[in-house]
Homo-oligomer: A and B are copies of this chain.
Amino acid sequence: MGCEIKRCGDKEYYCTVELTLQIIGGKWKPIILWYLHTNGTQRFGELRRTMPNITQKMLTQQLRELEADGLVHREVYPQVPPKVEYSLTELGTSVVPVMRTMCEWGQSYEKAVAQAADGRDAA
């Protein structure tokens, strides 16, 4: 039990945890999703300025993957100079609570580690 490989589109996984991980995991996707959620619809350049450390290539790539997975909507305005806006879809909005849960656990983990460090310092 639990050893069979399942498929969803092009993604393979044993457990749906992994499926979720493939969609919102990676170095940049959580941050992108987070900013799209907190700041709302944004242009490519705005996202870029918000995340100074991501390269243009990676931002484009990750946004396209999120679009392909149905989490992000990409609106192209046919004008010069180009204008492209990104926003969360309904599906994208539905991941926010999941991310919030992960956030909260991460925070409690931070505290647990800090307390363990204090314990060692006191000893």
Whole-angstrom distance from the CB of A48 to the nearest CB of chain B? 12
Interface residues on A, range: 35 or more
Instruction: Say how far A65's CB is from chain B's closest CB, in angstroms.
Output: 14
Q: Are A8 and B91 in contact (CB under 8 A)?
A: no
Q: Decide: A106 and B2 in contact? CB cutoff 8 A.
A: no
Q: Which residues of B contact A20 (CB under 8 A)?
A: 102-103, 105-106, 109
Total copies of the chain: 2
Choice from B9, B17, B34 contacting A103 with Cβ under 8 Å? B17
The 0/1 profile, CB within 8 Å of B marked 1, for residues 25-62 of chain A is 10100110011000000000000001111000000000
Contact yes or no, B103 A16, CB < 8 A: yes
B15 near A31 (CB under 8 angstroms)? yes
Query: Which residues of the other chain, B, contact A8 by a CB distance below 8 angstroms?
Result: 109-110, 113
Interface residue from B3, B31, B101 paired with A14 (Cβ < 8 Å): B31
B106 in contact with A17 (CB, 8 Å): yes
Residues of B within 8 A of A3 (CB): 50-53
A contact set with B: CB distance below 8 Å: 2-3, 8-9, 13-21, 23, 25, 27, 30-31, 34-35, 50-53, 70, 91, 94-95, 97-99, 101-110, 112-113, 116
